[in-house]
Chain A
Amino acid sequence: MVCEAWKEKLDTYLDGELPEEEMRSLDAHVHSCASCSADTLARLQMKRSIQATGKRFAPSADFRRRMQQSMAPKPKLSFRLGWVLATAAVAILVAGALTTSYLGNRSGRDHVYSEIADLHVATLASSSPVDVISTDRHTVKPWFQGKIPFAFNLPELQNTEFTLLGGRMAYVNQTPGAQLIYDVRKHHISVFVFQERSLRTGLDENSLSPKKAPYNMETWSQGGLRYFVIGDASAADIDSLAKLFRAAAS
Chain B
Amino acid sequence: MFSQGNKSSPHWFNLVRMLWASPQSDSFEELAMPLFDQLYNFAHWLTQNREEAEDLVQETYIKALKGFSSFQPGTNFRAWMYRILRNTFLTSRTGLRATSTVPLDTEADGPELAVEHDSPETILMRLTDSKALQSAIDGLPVHYREILLLCEVEEMSYQEIAESLSIPIGTVMSRLSRARKTLRDVLRLQFQKG
Q: Which residues of A contact B (CB under 8 A)?
A: 3-4, 7-8, 11-12, 15, 17, 35, 39, 42-43, 45-47, 49-60, 63-64, 66-67, 69-76, 205, 221-224, 246, 249-250
10 contacts between A and B (CB under 8 A): A11-B177, A50-B133, A54-B45, A55-B41, A56-B41, A59-B36, A70-B20, A71-B16, A73-B21, A250-B37
Shortest C-beta distance, A223 to chain B (Å), equals 5
Is chain B's interface secondary structure helix, strand, loop, or mixed overall?
helix
Find chain B residues with CB under 8 A from A250 CB.
37-38, 41
Find chain A residues with CB under 8 A from B112 CB.
7-8, 11
Find chain B residues with CB under 8 A from A205 CB.
33
- Is A12 within 8 A of B54, CB to CB? no
Shortest C-beta distance, A22 to chain B (Å), equals 13
Shortest C-beta distance, B187 to chain A (Å), equals 9
Per CB-CB distance, the 4 closest pairs between chain A and chain B, nearest first, are A54-B153, A42-B121, A57-B44, A250-B37
- Is A70 within 8 A of B21, CB to CB? no
Given A50-B153, A53-B130, A71-B16; 9 other pairs, CB 8 A cutoff: A15-B176, A46-B180, A50-B148, A51-B155, A53-B133, A59-B37, A64-B36, A70-B17, A250-B38
- Is A66 within 8 A of B13, CB to CB? yes
- Is A54 within 8 A of B137, CB to CB? yes
A-B contact count (CB 8 A): 130
Find chain A residues with CB under 8 A from B54 CB.
59-60, 63
* A71-B34 Cα distance, complex, nearest whole Å: 13
Interface bits B154-194 vs A (CB < 8 Å: 1, else 0): 01011000000000000001001100100110000000000
Find chain A residues with CB under 8 A from B45 CB.
54, 56-57
Which residue on chain B has the smallest CB distance to residue A57?
B44
The number of chain B residues touching the other chain, given as a range, is 35 or more
Shortest C-beta distance, B23 to chain A (Å), equals 10
Instruction: Judge whether B89 is part of the interface by a CB distance below 8 angstroms.
Output: no
Which residue on chain B has the smallest CB distance to residue A205?
B33
Find chain B residues with CB under 8 A from A223 CB.
34
* A46-B133 Cα distance, complex, nearest whole Å: 10
Shortest C-beta distance, B21 to chain A (Å), equals 5
- Is B40 within 8 A of A11, CB to CB? no
- Is B122 within 8 A of A53, CB to CB? no
Shortest C-beta distance, B143 to chain A (Å), equals 16
Which residue on chain A has the smallest CB distance to residue B39?
A59
Find chain A residues with CB under 8 A from B50 CB.
57, 60
Interface bits B19-46 vs A (CB < 8 Å: 1, else 0): 0110001100100011011101100110
Find chain B residues with CB under 8 A from A42 CB.
115, 119, 121-122
* A249-B34 Cα distance, complex, nearest whole Å: 10
Find chain B residues with CB under 8 A from A74 CB.
17, 20-21
Which residues 112-137 of B sit at the A interface, judged by CB distance below 8 A? 112-115, 119-122, 124-125, 130, 133-134, 137
Find chain B residues with CB under 8 A from A39 CB.
114-115
Instruction: Judge whether B90 is part of the interface by a CB distance below 8 angstroms.
Output: no
Find chain B residues with CB under 8 A from A43 CB.
115, 121
Find chain A residues with CB under 8 A from B184 CB.
46
Find chain A residues with CB under 8 A from B114 CB.
3-4, 7, 35, 39
Which residue on chain B has the smallest CB distance to residue A42?
B121
- Is A50 within 8 A of B152, CB to CB? yes
Instruction: Judge whether B111 is part of the interface by a CB distance below 8 angstroms.
Output: yes
* A50-B150 Cα distance, complex, nearest whole Å: 11
Of the candidates A4, A17, A46, A69, the one having the most CB atoms from chain B within 10 angstroms of its own CB is A46
Find chain B residues with CB under 8 A from A53 CB.
130, 133-134, 137
* A167-B33 Cα distance, complex, nearest whole Å: 28
- Is B21 within 8 A of A59, CB to CB? no
- Is A72 within 8 A of B17, CB to CB? yes
Find chain B residues with CB under 8 A from A70 CB.
12-13, 16-17, 20
Checking A3, A45, A67, A72 against B125 with a beta-carbon cut-off of 8 angstroms, the contacting residue is: A45
